[in-house]
Structure 1
Amino acid sequence: MTTADTQEVGLLFEKTFRREPLGEYHGVEPGEGTSVAQASVQDPVSFVIEDTTLPGPSRLIAFRTSCILSAEGLQAKKDKIAKQGHGDAIQAILNRMTELWLAKSTVFEKNPRAKAMKFIALGVDTEYEGKGLAKELLKASMEKAKEVGCDAVTVVASAFATQHLFGNRLGFELMGRVRYSEFSWINEETGKEERPFENLVNPEFLEVYEKKLV
């Protein structure tokens, strides 16, 4: 994935994330996909697939966005959240998943200079589903993570299908889970405690996984 892909990735993200439990329940903010794409293109672990038989210029049909985490970068993000807040409810629950992962993971304990790849998002155009594109993207990302020296891979899984994939088929370890209906956060705009996902019950949990690469 390159900077030239960010617009198309952003548009496809906004279409496909609406099918995920969090996106379907909470909605997708305008420009959210572009922000995800721009954050993901910083590291060489995000990939796209194009259908070259299409006339173009828009040929992108699938993407897997990822980023590389370090102990220093995670601390900087924690400090930023402490000063500026989470931003919105989805970011708040995703940040909570990062906390749960870090509380159980030994990646940075064993090596403070370690790196971990985080899967951010996957999107496949509806017309191309069932053709193994997600599998190709996952394989490419995992291989690149090893190549650039990542010690582990982590992912937050919001849907039954991805939880089954990572937990049962790909050998990832469950590091933590949050029951959607019980999650609460302080809305920075109102100063009030809220349960933004109290009616999200299918699936019941948001889960975070890890797989060691070394």
Structure 2
Amino acid sequence: MTITEPTKPKGRPSHLVLRPMIASDVQEVARLFEKTFRREPLGAHRGIAEGEGNDIAEASVQDPVSFVVEDTTLPGPHRLIAFRTSCIVTADSLARKADKIATEGHSDSVQAILDHMTELWLAKSTVFKSNPSAKVMKFMALGVDSEYEGQGLAKDLLKVSMDKAVEVGCEAVTVVASAFATQHLFSKRLGFEMMGRVRYSDFTWENEKTGKEERPFESLVQPEFLEVFEKKLI
């Protein structure tokens, strides 16, 4: 994998280096994901499933649209203090995943509701209808260590990810936003279009382990909705 020169936007200290995510970052990204996802509504409600961080990190390193920030002043081995993980999806890859879900179902309620959001997005999006071979960048996760919040790292990671998506030929970007702050950011400040929403307390799924229909997020009321967004890049 070719690694570009570290990106150093004006205003960020030079020791906080933003660069593409590489294979050797997987364990650190997984560790930081599991630490930061607990602050998100879904993570706070359900907790972190075993291996969840590693699954996210492994999937995110497959395409050149994931980025990390490391603090080079830290002694190591854990220097990563922020990440934005993403992947590239196509109509074919989404169809294959849908077939797998139809065959195997879900064993995890969080993945079930996230896949439902993908269905809502696809039902409204015109990207693949206009171009069946289109590529779309999907934001998967964002994490910033609490000690480094308020320094603009999330904004820097967002910009470099969007720029890279354009560079590699993605026609749009999609994201599921679970918290008030990110919902406001994408809809009001970044010009994303809301493609669908589901009230947490209304969502039902069939638990493969028990065979029963459940409402796993019935008590999650802040925020009330989970929302999915899209922004065209070309």
Q: What TM-score does the superposition give when structure 1 sets the normalisation length?
A: 0.99
Q: How many residues align?
A: 214
Question: Please, which of 110, 131, 143 is the counterpart of residue 163 of structure 2?
Answer: 143
> Which whole-Å CA distance do the structure 2 matches of 1:165 and 1:54 have between them?
31
| One-letter amino acid matched to 1:76 | R
> Which whole-Å CA distance do the structure 1 matches of 2:132 and 2:40 have between them?
34
Partner of 2:186: 166
Question: Please, which of 48, 52, 72 is the counterpart of residue 72 of structure 2?
Answer: 52
State the secondary structure of the residue aligned to 1:67.
strand
Contact 2:171–2:232 (8 Å) recurs in 1 = yes
User: Post-superposition shift, 1:58?
Assistant: 1.4
Partner of 2:141: 121
- Once the two structures are aligned, what percentage of the paired residues are identical? 74
Partner of 2:48: 28
Partner of 1:83: 103
State the secondary structure of the residue aligned to 1:42.
coil
Contact 2:37–2:43 (8 Å) recurs in 1 = yes
User: Post-superposition shift, 1:87?
Assistant: 2.3
Contact 2:192–2:229 (8 Å) recurs in 1 = yes
Structure 1 alignment gaps of length 5 or more: none
Q: What TM-score does the superposition give when structure 2 sets the normalisation length?
A: 0.91
State the secondary structure of the residue aligned to 1:196.
coil
Structure 2 alignment gaps of length 5 or more: 1-20
User: Post-superposition shift, 1:30?
Assistant: 2.2
> Which whole-Å CA distance do the structure 2 matches of 1:99 and 1:66 have between them?
18
Partner of 1:110: 130
Matched, 1:153 2:153: no
| One-letter amino acid matched to 1:194 | E
> Which whole-Å CA distance do the structure 1 matches of 2:69 and 2:222 have between them?
30
Contact 2:107–2:209 (8 Å) recurs in 1 = no
> Which whole-Å CA distance do the structure 1 matches of 2:83 and 2:128 have between them?
28
- C-alpha RMSD of the superposition: 0.5
Partner of 2:120: 100
